[in-house]
Amino acid sequence: MTLLKIVTYPDPFLKQPTKPVTDIDDQVQKIIEDMAETMYAASGVGLAAIQAGFDKSIIVYDPTADAEKKDFQVLINPKILFSEGSMISDNEGCLSVPDFRSDVKRSERVIVEALDRNGNPLKIEAEGLLSVIMQHEIDHLKGVLFIDHISALKRQLYKKKRQKALKSG
């Protein structure tokens, strides 16, 4: 297994919409394994392929972030079919957005349709934390980051802080 380099803001690669997976082949399986490994190594609860340098519609997640059990889920070509209610995510963060966290307004419940890693159709009803993870990761596949959901002023402040940090190495 290979640890992948996580693409970070403001890399424009993160802004591009991903392509649907048409063939779940060995290359895709390898990407999935490497993504999971990378997610656990970074103590994340979710990772989208675009964050690992692949413009493919794949996400892995594990709300427990338990690197011993590695009981992660894979969604290929996920789509939100239905969403309702509203909630504030608690201190949301992203492996591609270093040193920043924010509460974000999210739907409380979603129903997601996707394929599993064997190509079988899945339908997942999620609420609470799992619902936030789904919305956050599916956003990534559309080129959207969680900081796109916060105020322009807060985003601008983070952008400046990030540019400063990048400059000073």
Q: Return residues touching Ni ion (CB under 5 A).
A: 94
Residue closest to Ni ion, measured at CB: 94
Give whichever of 114 and 132 is closer to Ni ion, judged by the CB atom: 132
Secondary structure letter of residue 19 according to DSSP: B
Closest among 84, 81, 88, 89 to 63, alpha carbons compared: 89
Q: Is 127 marked active-site? A: no
Give whichever of 22 and 64 is closer to Ni ion, judged by the CB atom: 64
Q: Closest separation between CB of residue 118 and Ni ion, Å?
A: 25
Q: Assess contact for 129 and 61: CB atoms under 8 A.
A: no
Q: Closest separation between CB of residue 92 and Ni ion, Å?
A: 9
d(CA 58, CA 35): 9
Q: Closest separation between CB of residue 51 and Ni ion, Å?
A: 6
Give whichever of 24 and 147 is closer to Ni ion, judged by the CB atom: 147
d(CA 32, CA 21): 12
Which residue type occupies 63? P
- Catalytic residue ranges: 137
